Amino acid sequence: MRSYILGRLLLAIPTLFGISAVAFLTIHLIPGNIVEVMLGTRTDVTPAQVAELNALYGIDKPLWQQYLTWAGHLIHGDLGFSLRTGLPVTSLLGPALAVTAEVTILAILIALCIALPAGTWLASRRDSASDVIGRVLSLIALSIPSFWLGTLLILVVSIYLPWLSSFAFIPFLQDPGRNLETMILPACTLALGLSAILVRMMRAAMLEVLHKDYLRTARAKGVSGSRVLGVHAMRNALLPVLTIVGLQVGYLLGGAVVVENVFTLPGVGRLVVQGIQQRDYPLVQSVVFVVAALVIVVNLVVDLAYAWVDPRIRYS
């Protein structure tokens, strides 16, 4: 187990290096820089003053030198400072990451609560009318854009559930109840597409195990049908579902960019959008790097969870 984890962490090093290079080059490909954004349409600034500002922010150096400077600080755990606010990136990223992590975890929990029983139920009624309807509904749910769904939920809730229409974010530790009221709609918006994927995956995985010999043996011993499905079959069908959940974490974080801006949540997605608009290079680069590292860690945790779900799996 220890050697497996070490090997995975070593493989993550070139991946993170590639991600850091892509993140750095992508933000610098956008026309304009922070000095041009700050000055806007002002005409009373001389070229010498512009050059002085470029030197102040370090954007007068060649790109390769800027990248090496940033990467060198990154290796030592220093994410740098925001060019716009002058604050450490860690002080801006910490609170934003907590918001995004909360909405992502809630979305995963909601999706699992829907997908596991629904996928199991559809598999037990294979090719029936309810199975066909369930698959069609999952396709429809998968095709709904998150920005449209979020806007629709805001409209419906504002009209029919005004007590739930407060979108002013409140930290969980400050008021858990109010916090969940604020986060439930963004979480449901993110969860819809994920639940549609997981329902189909759970159904397919259950169909593969429903006719296994150990299930026939359990039925022959008099085990109830609900226990056969809910315990013996479901646990062995969870491995592909766990894989999809791990892979979807990256997509959920990407979807959070849209959802957080729709619901005005102060999360990582909104922080990145503001950083791109302001050409805040260190902020955007560091946020993308940290999120990528988190996705790698989540996928490693999911792989290790296989051994908990299926004791026959061993890592060496």
Rounded CA separation 106/82 (Å) = 29
Work out the end-to-end distance of the chain between its first and last CA atoms, rounded to an integer number of angstroms: 5
Q: Name the DSSP class of 187.
A: H
Q: At what angle do helices 63-75 and 281-309 cross, to 10 degrees?
A: 50
Rounded CA separation 125/197 (Å) = 19
308 pLDDT band, cuts 50/70/90, is low
Secondary structure (DSSP) of 268-305: HHHHHHHHHHTT-HHHHHHHHHHHHHHHHHHHHHHHHH
Average pLDDT in the chain: 81
> Helix, strand, or coil here: 88?
strand
**Which domains, from first to last, does the chain contain?**
2-75 (no CATH), 89-278+287-309 (1.10.3720.10)
pLDDT of residue 110: 92
Rounded to the nearest 5 degrees, what angle is found at the Cα of 61, between the Cα atoms of 60 and 65? 155
pLDDT of residue 150: 86
Among 7-16, 68-77, 156-165, the range with the most confident prediction by mean pLDDT is 68-77
Work out the burial of residue 196: count CB atoms within 10 Å of its CB; fewer than 13 is exposed, 13-18 middle, 19 or more buried.
Answer: buried
Kind plus residue range of the DSSP H or E element containing 91: helix 89-124
Under 8 Å between Cβ of 24 and 67: yes
pLDDT of residue 274: 84
pLDDT in tens, 245-258: 877 887 787 777 88
pLDDT of residue 165: 62
Task: Please count the other Cβ atoms lying within 10 Å of the Cβ belonging to residue 102.
Answer: 19
- For the CA atoms of 157, 117, 231, 197, the dihedral, rounded to the nearest 10 degrees, stands at -100
1 pLDDT band, cuts 50/70/90, is low
Least confident of 47-51, 71-75, 138-142: 47-51
Q: Which of 283, 262, 258, 234 is nearest to 94 (CA)?
A: 283
Per-residue pLDDT, averaged over 63-91, amounts to 84
pLDDT in tens, 149-193: 888 888 888 887 776 666 677 877 788 888 888 888 888 998 888
Give percent of the chain above pLDDT 90: 2
pLDDT in tens, 192-239: 888 989 998 888 888 887 777 776 777 777 766 667 666 667 777 777
Higher pLDDT, 18 or 250: 18
Q: Name the DSSP class of 61.
A: S
pLDDT in tens, 97-137: 888 888 988 999 999 899 888 888 888 888 888 888 988 98
